Structure 1
């Protein structure tokens, strides 16, 4: 008998799909995240980021700004997905994240990645909650799709959903830095790993507000990222850029 197949779950362990959570955080998921630099391309173009130390500071700001905001909303989406929230909830959720994302370019990037992740989700983790989200918003934000998949399919917890989007907020730009700056890939990955404790704190804080009404969720502003996103969009229309955002 295969003893490994009969290893019991640890006491108090929650059912879930840790492999699926990892897949949602994987850059190889065909959700379109590889096409976005999170504002890094514009920062490089302006000379703001040119080496590993400057990349680390850029990632710090992105994690505590856009990453923290996305984490709070992803955790709420996971909580709602688990409980079967209706279309009214998703419409309010969508409106509130839009209100906290003043840059049209940032909103467009989030929705583009949301559509891509929804397509991947329909193939790998189909569920009624995802269809309800799509029916309510048409083009959902990325944190909504990640959250609803994790919650509705019991792949993990609201904290897991928050951790996934917080991680992606820095891992995407770090990967882009290798192409934009020719950075050592090990240095780029080290920059992401340096934020392990920060990411854990952000995910834990997001999970603590997951049951809040959409209008009561936290708001973390990142004006510099908004300006970089708008400038990148304008320059992208004038010349070919490597990344869509």
Structure 2
């Protein structure tokens, strides 16, 4: 871990990035009757972790690695070159980071068939980047519209965290978000829900550890976990006139 306290700040559900407004597909699953109690919630969260959670963690790790490498290159150039050359090297490093993040964004577009889910991911990414720029000294690459896992990786790098931290924050958030929503949607005992999260913690750690090793992989080789039912649910959910969550 690069900085445990910093990781806790980034993964905190109270971070002002709008995550509380999204249920990660749980609201639609509850209305459809597929999630109605603690046992069915456990199945939902386990499925999310194995599919979207694994993909999000891998992309967050890759984004963190790319952004950190660019920052390190820019810092080395600034320390060891004349002013004009250093400025050029910093600009080149920023371009390299933006190119990597753009490719990761495109990779997530390809892995997310539902337009509603793509919109929700980018909405959360915008809010997370806004929070990151307000809290840490984040370089600006001219893009304010990135998928949430890519934004998470970029913010993690700006906070001094590594790919493993970004992967853990992504996997953790993909489980805790809908778990928190379940308390509001189903009136479940919050102690029981957090007990479920505690039991899932080893699986979250395992997904994060696995995907952190993928940080340098080409985009086409990163995971593409498939979850067709939530994709269909998301399109229906987006048409509802009355709903508690944005997604």
TM-score class normalised by the smaller sequence: 0.7 to 0.9
Conserved in 2, the CA contact under 8 Å of 1:82 and 1:153? no
Where does residue 145 of structure 1 map in the other structure? 151
Distance of 2:172 and 2:118 partners within structure 1? 19
Where does residue 68 of structure 1 map in the other structure? 54
Distance of 1:199 and 1:94 partners within structure 2? 23
Unaligned runs of 5+ in 1: 1-13
What is the TM-score when the length of structure 2 is the normalising length? 0.86
Distance of 2:50 and 2:173 partners within structure 1? 13
Task: Output the aligned Cα RMSD.
Answer: 1.3
Distance of 1:35 and 1:152 partners within structure 2? 25
Report the 3-state secondary structure (helix = DSSP H, G, I; strand = E; otherwise coil) of the residue aligned with 1:195: helix
Aligned runs of 1:70-149 on 2, under 5 Å?
Answer: 70-84=56-70, 85-128=96-139, 131-132=140-141, 135=142, 137-149=143-155
Distance of 2:158 and 2:38 partners within structure 1? 39
Aligned runs of 1:1-245 on 2, under 5 Å?
Answer: 16-84=2-70, 85-128=96-139, 131-132=140-141, 135=142, 137-154=143-160, 156-235=161-240, 239-245=241-247
Report the 3-state secondary structure (helix = DSSP H, G, I; strand = E; otherwise coil) of the residue aligned with 1:194: helix
Residue 51 of structure 1 deviates from its aligned partner by 0.6
Report the 3-state secondary structure (helix = DSSP H, G, I; strand = E; otherwise coil) of the residue aligned with 2:239: helix
Where does residue 84 of structure 2 map in the other structure? none
Tell me the number of residue pairs that the alignment of Structure 1 and Structure 2 aligns: 222
Distance of 2:159 and 2:44 partners within structure 1? 34
Q: Tell me whether 73-82 or 19-28 shows the greater mean CA deviation.
A: 19-28
Report the 3-state secondary structure (helix = DSSP H, G, I; strand = E; otherwise coil) of the residue aligned with 1:74: helix
Distance of 2:122 and 2:137 partners within structure 1? 19
Residue 189 of structure 1 deviates from its aligned partner by 1.2
Q: Tell me whether 175-184 or 222-231 shows the greater mean CA deviation.
A: 222-231
Residue 216 of structure 1 deviates from its aligned partner by 2.2
What is the TM-score when the length of structure 1 is the normalising length? 0.87
Unaligned runs of 5+ in 2: 71-95
Residue 213 of structure 1 deviates from its aligned partner by 1.8
Report the 3-state secondary structure (helix = DSSP H, G, I; strand = E; otherwise coil) of the residue aligned with 2:29: helix
Residue 81 of structure 1 deviates from its aligned partner by 1.0
